[in-house]
Structure 1
């Protein structure tokens, strides 16, 4: 059976989830599909194009929040955080102007080109920072998690409906921090 472009993108996302961005090579994607790496080039000319298609797939659901730039950015961040290294993939593709331009265009219709770029850079950066923090915490690489929750942390977690584990506290605070930053940017745009 011959693979389609959608099959190639799906395989790349499976490799991304299993290996992370650094381990997501054309060779591994080909192995996931059971084909030779050269077979991938019938669908994509290079890894950068595949990265752009992966980014587009990752953020595809963010469009459901049309009309409200705050909800749009929250949905975009959630979509990136739902995929291992998703924020890195989307931010890289956007930085190289390889993909996700439709997202920028839709946001620009709401807040103008400069506002859209500012919101996207903030959303990408915050999502990358959050993803790095959560991955490091999951690996036990953050000493603060061994010491227990920070002062006032359980209240933040409880407000978010989560248990007061250090990881839940951190995740709730990161989400709250993102919302506060969005509010500051949107107030400035108004």
Structure 2
């Protein structure tokens, strides 16, 4: 009887270990991140919960922590995937700045997500490095200032576009950041980078 009970307990333990929340092999880090990015586009950052991501993957929320220590680590991974779209090595700073902005706009609340992880010093420095490459040697501070502008401008524009999509109209005396978006953006980049908005700098 003791042997049978031991076998039964071992079987229960094995079953628990192979359940979704104990079996990290059912999904990997990449599949979790891809599911999270897809959900970000569908529900937005505010509703992107670990529980919702787990439901999409048909696992228990605890299963996600095999791959990410916490939600902030997962969001940092998403931010890295968003900014990975930025081409590296461009000599034209306006091209680089627009590429960063376009990468942020590629996902719903992409700017807010990247901005929040950047504020917490999480994720990669890919965007910063891309700007430094475009600006040239000794441009770390200007690149940082420019990145702050890009993140803030993109977040503001996305928030306004989201509000307008829900029928929230701007007051007549407010400046609409989505009106003349490219011109406003280029002027800001040019002012910080010290180049002409109409004739982007080319170091080549």
Q: What SS does the aligned partner of 2:66 have?
A: coil
More helix by share: 1
**Other-structure match for 1:135:** 162
Alignment length, in residue pairs? Answer: 167
1:133, CA displacement in angstroms? Answer: 1.0
Q: Which segment is superposed worse, 169-178 or 49-58?
A: 169-178
Which of these residues, 193, 197, 200, is aligned with residue 186 of structure 1?
193
* Contact 1:63–1:103 (Cα < 8 Å) also in 2: no
Q: Determine the C-alpha separation between the residues in 1 that align with 2:167 and 2:69.
A: 39
**Other-structure match for 1:12:** 36
| CA root-mean-square deviation | 2.2
* Contact 2:96–2:134 (Cα < 8 Å) also in 1: no
**Other-structure match for 1:155:** none
Q: What is the TM-score with the length of structure 1 in the denominator?
A: 0.80
* Contact 1:65–1:75 (Cα < 8 Å) also in 2: no
**TM-aligned CA distance change 1:65 to 1:131, over 3 Å:** farther
1:110, CA displacement in angstroms? Answer: 3.6
Which of these residues, 1, 14, 32, is aligned with residue 56 of structure 2?
32
Which of these residues, 180, 185, 191, is aligned with residue 173 of structure 1?
180
Kindly report which structure 2 residues correspond to 1:67-78, keeping only aligned pairs within 5 A, or say none. 67-78=91-102
Q: What SS does the aligned partner of 1:105 have?
A: helix
Which of these residues, 115, 118, 125, is aligned with residue 101 of structure 1?
125
Select the structure of larger CA radius of gyration: 2
Q: Determine the C-alpha separation between the residues in 1 that align with 2:170 and 2:69.
A: 44
Kindly report which structure 2 residues correspond to 1:84-99, keeping only aligned pairs within 5 A, or say none. 84-99=108-123
Q: What is the TM-score with the length of structure 2 in the denominator?
A: 0.75
1:50 aligns with 2:77: no
More RCO (CA 8 Å, sep 6+): 2
Gaps of 5+ in 1: 151-168
Gaps of 5+ in 2: 1-24, 196-200
